[in-house]
């Protein structure tokens, strides 16, 4: 009854329909609905307390999105899909939502233009990204319904390529700017099972043993304490869950450290094996892809079934 009471008000129904299509802030909902911030915040509180919306804090922003799963979310989705597309109010909301998304897209493009040269320079040093992605996809059979967390998600590319194979995907990144890019890239019904959230790779906003797959893709070389990143990734994996790390093999390119803020000049198989062992992972399998000036390695292993994760009171993840 609480669910239907929450939905049974016109503005809240409009909010649900919008949050079912995008993750939105209060100010963005204001732009669409042309209502005051206090009124929208009150409606959002009611919908969140009824278990219909997820609420995520990200710096000065708070994002709201329709819950991915649960009985309340299923009821809401059933109602939303029945809203008539030719209704003037629905059509007006969707038109204004399109304007909000266009503003995001322009912001993402501006950020990319400012940083494209840096990324292009790094990509030119190593193997074709498409080849690396094909290798990653081989580790996860299609149709598994797995829960995946992408640590240091960046542009959300890992979520994009895995979305058809998994049940749910969560991307974590500390950068609000990168999350803006990721949200634009994931703004498609094909990626409705994926979302992103701001978080620290040393303290993921996720409960213990909630994921089947954890991916750390070209992130570890930025970490001050790589072993702690691996331990945290292992914590959120269920026993038997798989951790995949992609990063540079040892190299001597000092420019990456001096000009691109790399903390580590790659990792040896032995170093990664030590990190995995300390985190309660099985010994990793490693594959070196040496098709560029720098070698990229992919390490993968399952979390040992006998390891008990440390207690952690993070978000739901």
Do 158 and 60 have their domain in common? Answer: no
Domain membership flag for residue 92:
yes
Domain membership flag for residue 307:
no
Domain membership flag for residue 290:
yes
Q: In angstroms, how far is CA 196 from the centroid of its own chain?
A: 3
> Residue 92's domain is classified under what CATH number?
1.10.10.10
pLDDT of residue 87: 87
pLDDT of residue 309: 42
> Residue 291's domain is classified under what CATH number?
3.40.50.150
Domain membership flag for residue 310:
no
**For every one of its 317 residues, what pLDDT tens digit does the chain have, with 9 covering 90 and above?**
567 777 888 999 999 999 988 899 999 999 999 999 999 999 999 999 988 998 988 777 889 999 877 788 788 888 888 888 788 998 999 999 999 999 988 887 776 677 665 665 666 667 688 889 999 999 877 777 899 999 999 889 999 999 999 999 999 998 888 898 899 999 999 999 999 999 999 999 999 999 999 999 999 998 989 999 999 999 999 999 999 999 999 998 888 887 777 889 999 999 999 999 999 999 999 999 987 788 999 999 999 886 544 444 344 44
Residue range(s) defining the domain that contains residue 256: 125-302
Please choose, from the candidates 292, 17, 304, 287, the residue with its C-alpha nearest in 3D space to the C-alpha of residue 134.
287
Task: Tell me the C-alpha distance between 224 and 220, whole Å.
Answer: 9
pLDDT of residue 100: 92
Our count of domains for the chain comes to: 2
pLDDT of residue 246: 95
């Amino acid at each position: 009854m609480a669910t239907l009471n929450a939905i049974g008000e016109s503005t809240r129904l409009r909010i649900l329909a919008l949050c079912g299509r995008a993750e939105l802030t209060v100010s963005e909902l204001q732009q669409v609905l042309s209502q005051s911030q206090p009124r929208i915040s009150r409606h959002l509180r009611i919908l969140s307390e009824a278990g219909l919306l997820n609420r995520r804090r990200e710096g000065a922003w708070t994002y709201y999105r329709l819950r991915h799963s649960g009985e309340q979310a299923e009821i809401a989705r059933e109602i939303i899909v029945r809203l008539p597309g030719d209704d003037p109010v629905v059509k007006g909301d969707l038109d204004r939502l399109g304007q909000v998304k266009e503003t995001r897209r322009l912001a993402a493009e501006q950020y990319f233009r400012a940083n494209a040269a840096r990324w292009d320079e790094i990509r030119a040093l190593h193997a074709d990204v498409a080849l690396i992605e094909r290798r990653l996809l081989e580790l996860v059979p299609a149709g598994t319904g797995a829960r995946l967390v992408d640590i240091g998600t960046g542009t959300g590319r890992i979520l994009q390529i895995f979305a058809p194979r998994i049940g749910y995907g969560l991307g974590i990144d500390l950068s609000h700017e990168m999350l803006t890019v990721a949200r634009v890239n994931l703004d498609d019904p094909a990626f409705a099972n994926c979302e992103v959230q701001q978080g620290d790779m040393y303290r993921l906003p996720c409960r213990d043993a909630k994921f089947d797959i954890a991916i750390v893709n070209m992130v570890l070389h930025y970490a001050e304490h790589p072993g702690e990143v691996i331990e945290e990734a292992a914590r959120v994996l269920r026993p038997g869950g798989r951790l995949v790390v992609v990063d540079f093999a040892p190299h001597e390119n000092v420019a990456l450290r001096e000009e691109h803020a790399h903390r580590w000049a790659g990792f040896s198989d032995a170093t990664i094996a030590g990190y995995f062992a300390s985190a309660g992972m099985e010994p990793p399998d490693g594959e070196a892809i040496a098709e560029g000036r720098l070698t990229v390695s992919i390490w993968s292993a399952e979390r040992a079934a006998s390891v008990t994760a440390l207690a952690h009171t993070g978000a739901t993840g």
